Amino acid sequence: MKKLEKILIANRGEIALRVVRTVREMGLKSVACYADEDINTLAVREADEAYALGGLRAGDTYLNHDAVLEVARKSGADAIHPGYGFLSENAEFARKVAEAGITWIGPKAEVIHALGDKIDARALAKDANVPTIPGSAGPVRTEAEAAALAEQIGYPVLLKRADGGGGRGIIRIRSRKDLTDYYSVSSPEALELTFLEKICEHARHVETQCMRDVEGNFAVVSTRDCSVQRRNQKLVEEAPAPLLPEGIEQNLTDWSKRLFEQAGYVGVGTCEFLVCDGQAYFLEVNPRLQVEHTVSEEVTGLDLVAEQIRIARHETLSEVPAVRGHAIEIRITAEDPGADLAPATGRVHSLSWPGGAGVRIDSFLEPGSVIGQNFDSLIGKITVHAPTRDQAIARLLRALAETRVEGVPTSKPVFEKVLSSAIFANVHHYTSWFDENHVVDSLGLEPFKASDAKTVAPVKMALEIDGRRHSVVLDEKALAVFGSAGPAGPVRPRQPLRGARKTTAVATTSDDSGAVVSPMQATVVRVAVEDGQKVEEGDLVAVIEAMKMEKYLYAPAAGIARCLVSQGDTVASGQVIVRVGEEE
């Protein structure tokens, strides 16, 4: 058995806390790392040690290879658990970890690389004799090539990025015009990574939670259904997958084993498929722990993080218990259902989670926590387990009724609508059902308005000495000396510094007729003009992405473009991205 004693969790939030808890139960030591705003979060407080990454943005902290490896060196960690997101699917980082003599808790770098490129993954599936969705064998670099294939297999089709994942980089193409629009704004570099697939109408998203050890022992822990999706993002996940067509579950089990063996995969991972018209097709393999792993744990009793650590220590897989009952998970996020689920920022004034039998909460927020714009808007996950699916639905609705969050809008009404629908109850939903039926719009809610309440939450303090976190407890009198007994009101999100990048600006008046303003908190995918470039009214100037949806922004008038952001920047709602002015 390979010796592991101290594990660095290269992540934040609920998943970091989730891993810390299992590490403690296994009698091992945990190390947390943190961005500046995360110094006092639960995962950081509960870990045995915690070290600063030094910075605000993900790129400077949780995505910073050197900073994470430096924490591993300083702390003496002999293993790194990446959680999900951030560096969990970064083959280069996994390679650096191995080269540093540190155990990577996950599949090898070459496996991550092979599965991370969706074009290569399709080829791997074909080599493993696993059916794939009809589409291109490689990149579709020209509009003519894409149009010929689309006409052959029939519109509508999807254009996907080979380096996409988690529902990102997927464009629905309904006609030749859509193709023309896409190719007219896409760079050669982007097209080198673009492939085409047929859309499977009314398909279900079904996946297998798998694990394989160094001896080649393989197991499927459970199936899962993740068919309630918004813009290709999973909203409701459940296990086991209900009402699968005859023979499909056995096929998925056999194909998952072939995929893991073909890739040389050792670790815990997920094989994803589309089930359509009684047939199943390969989508991708996720070489990491999934957000929805909790439902597989609840129906089997296995701790999948413990299994990851056991496999990394070269131990044999645990015996997988038979699936018992049904589990459903939802993610409560700070997104406003009255504003098309736009991400929100602000302070959580009060927070109360449900309890009772069969209810599991995975969260890291507390009353007084601030949800900023630097990271995702997840507040917490609710997972329920019950003897039957109907009982699980009823239990989750009860749990939602008990959930209270004040200070920020939440996605709670959306889940109440979905879980109360006959479509979901009868398993008649499919991956595009939520969007096609405009579930968010059907709620008829007004945009969230922040309360004027001056709720003061308990303040817990921390000191950082030589980059390492130390806890300090200050009573009310001590806090008064510092002049901060708690927040006086909503916190205005700050745009993080970006070194030598240009200063950003926020439009404060509707008279700024030349401003191209972001309508929501988003990421700048592309700046389509050069600073100082002459543009005409209606010219594309930038592309932003929010909630896995790309939005094109155009020049409001002719003039000279002044670019105020760069590709990859996070922008706030109302922030000026490009300003078009008169020629000098």
How does pLDDT run across 477-494, given as a tens digit for each residue?
455 555 544 443 333 333
3-state secondary structure 217-255: CEEEEEEEEEEEEECCEEEEEEECCCCCCCCHHHHHHHH
| DSSP helix/strand/coil, 567 | coil
The CB-side HSE value for 262 (13 A sphere, CA atoms) comes to 21
Specify which residues 104 forms β-bridges with: 80
Which position has the higher pLDDT, 526 or 292?
A: 292
Which position has the higher pLDDT, 565 or 308?
A: 308
Percent of the chain's residues with pLDDT above 70: 89
7: left (phi over 0), alpha (psi -120 to 50) or beta: beta
DSSP letter at 119?
H
In the chain, the domains with their CATH numbers are 4-104 (3.40.50.20), 109-131+201-321 (3.30.470.20), 133-196 (3.30.1490.20), 324-442 (3.30.470.20), 513-579 (2.40.50.100)
How big, in percent rounded to 5, are the helix, strand and coil portions of the chain? Answer: 30, 30, 45
The mean pLDDT of the chain is 89
DSSP 275-313: EETTEEEEEEEE-S--TTHHHHHHHH---HHHHHHHHHT
Strand order in the sheet with 522-527: 549-554, 540-546, 522-527, 570-571
Confidence of residue 496 (pLDDT cuts 50, 70, 90): very low
Confidence of residue 1 (pLDDT cuts 50, 70, 90): confident
Q: What is the pLDDT, as a whole number, of residue 389?
A: 98
Tell me how far CA of residue 434 lies from CA of 140, 428, 446, 560, in angstroms.
30, 11, 20, 42
Q: What is the pLDDT, as a whole number, of residue 163?
A: 80
Strand ranges in 277-424 using DSSP code E only, listed in sequence order = 279-286, 326-333, 335-336, 342-343, 346-347, 350-352, 359-363, 370-371, 378-386, 404-406
What is the mean pLDDT of the segment spanning 104-125?
A: 95
Q: What is the pLDDT, as a whole number, of residue 506?
A: 36
Asked if 270 and 283 count as a contact pair (C-beta separation under 8 A), the reply is no
Q: What is the pLDDT, as a whole number, of residue 482?
A: 56
What is the mean pLDDT of the segment spanning 200-227?
A: 97
What is the mean pLDDT of the segment spanning 74-85?
A: 97
Specify which residues 463 forms β-bridges with: 470
Q: What is the pLDDT, as a whole number, of residue 505?
A: 37
Q: Which of 152-161, 180-189, 419-428, 491-500 has the lowest mean pLDDT?
A: 491-500
| Separation between Cα atoms, residue 509 and residue 183, nearest integer Å | 35
Q: Say whether pLDDT at 502 is over 70.
A: no
Q: What is the pLDDT, as a whole number, of residue 527?
A: 87
Q: What is the pLDDT, as a whole number, of residue 282?
A: 97
- Cα 450–454–457 angle (5° rounding)? 105
What is the mean pLDDT of the segment spanning 398-411?
A: 97
Measured from the Cβ of residue 200, the count of other Cβ atoms closer than 10 Å reads 20
pLDDT digits (tens, 9 = 90+) for 522-574: 788 888 888 999 888 888 888 887 655 567 788 898 999 999 998 878 887 78
Burial of 201 (0-12, 13-18, 19+ CB in 10 A): exposed
Asked if 224 and 207 count as a contact pair (C-beta separation under 8 A), the reply is yes
Tell me how far CA of residue 210 lies from CA of 207, 320, 557, in angstroms.
9, 11, 54
Q: Say whether pLDDT at 520 is over 80.
A: no
